[in-house]
Amino acid sequence: MRRIIWAQRLSMVLCVCWLGLWGCGEDPQQIFDTAQFEEKQGNQVHAMELYEHIVQVSPDSDWAKRASERLAVLKK
């Protein structure tokens, strides 16, 4: 039973790492999608970092507006 739990956790960590690397390009939509995935996985700290990155890199984009909205919700 412990091996199954360990294997599931390892798979989740590898998936998050892969998605983190995949989504860390400069495309705001990809970064936003990765941030949402991080939120759903309970990793709010990393999600907030990604949202803040969008706001810094593309401040005038619609993605920055959406990221700012998510940041406001997460900071409550």
The CATH code of the domain that includes 65 is 1.25.40
- Count the domains in the chain: 1
Q: Which residue stretches of the chain are H helix?
A: 2-22, 28-40, 44-57, 62-74
Boundaries of domain holding 64:
2-74
> Regarding predicted confidence, which is higher, 48 or 20?
48
How many whole angstroms from its chain centre is CA 25? Answer: 12
21-71 confidence digits (pLDDT tens):
554 557 999 999 999 999 999 999 999 999 999 999 999 999 999 999 999
- The model carries a pTM of 0.67
